[in-house]
Homo-oligomer: A and B are copies of this chain.
Amino acid sequence: MATTARRGAPLTLDEIHAAALRLVDEGGVDALSMRKLAAELDVNPMSLYHHVPGKEALIQQICVAMADRLELPPDDGTPWQEQLRALALAYHALARAYPALFAYAYAHQQPGTDHESGIWAVLHRVLRAAGVAGPDLGRTGDVLHAFVSGFVLAETKGLIAEPGPAFDTAIDLIVHGLAGRS
């Protein structure tokens, strides 16, 4: 018999990730413990360590799983203002889908790790379309990423009184700021 003692099927990394995402979704990152996760999967806590190096690594893994779910807007022919708004909306949607994990990912982000996969390519493409070039490109990209991250983070925390109008205000401010720079 190849079946394990307590479960019908062997433990899977995807299974672990799904359960971990569920726990984090329900009670925040603090609610994720290796022991509770194992209980959720009906498995001995130590079995997890055969699929994952440790708790911190597991959290990193579900962070990139979240980042992979970011639906980057395609390069349709629409003006850069609209594409910038679409990108911000995608980021916004991701944060709303995984509020707790998004906040954790932003707070624990490391300089090297590029958790957002292709987001930088899209952002730079849009900025180039807006006429940003040379050394300004990298700086403006960093700034806009920080701005939008800060906004969606604040929004998911309930710190924005009127999220809808405030989102428009935010995008308008960025668009006018980009258009009106010296």
Q: Shortest CB–CB separation between residue A126 and chain B, in angstroms?
A: 14
Q: How far is the CA of A155 from the CA of B145 in the complex (A)?
A: 12
A148 vs B181: C-alpha distance in the bound complex, in angstroms?
Answer: 18
Residues of B within 8 A of A146 (CB): 147, 150-151, 153-155, 159-160, 170
The answer to whether B150 and A170 touch across the interface, beta carbons within 8 angstroms, is no
The distance in angstroms between the C-alpha atoms of A165 and B180, with both chains bound, is 18
A103–B157 alpha-carbon span in the complex (Å): 14
Does residue A139 face the partner (Cβ distance < 8 Å to B)? Answer: yes
Question: In the complex, how many angstroms separate the beta carbon of A132 from the nearest chain B beta carbon?
Answer: 10
Binding site of A, secondary structure by majority: helix, strand, loop or mixed?
helix
Q: Mark A154-177, 1 if CB is under 8 A from B, else 0.
A: 110111111001100110111111
Rounded to whole Å, the gap between the CB of A12 and the closest CB of chain B is: 29
Closest approach, in angstroms, between the C-beta of A154 and any C-beta of chain B?
Answer: 4
Interface residues on chain A, size class: 35 or more
Residue of B nearest to A111 (CB): B158
Q: Report chain B residues within 8 Å CB of A180.
A: 176-177, 179-180
For the A-B complex with A109-B157, A111-B157, A150-B154 known, give 19 more contacts whose Cβ atoms are closer than 8 Å. A104-B107, A107-B107, A110-B157, A138-B161, A139-B162, A139-B165, A140-B173, A142-B159, A142-B161, A142-B162, A146-B151, A146-B154, A146-B159, A150-B153, A172-B177, A173-B178, A173-B181, A175-B177, A176-B177
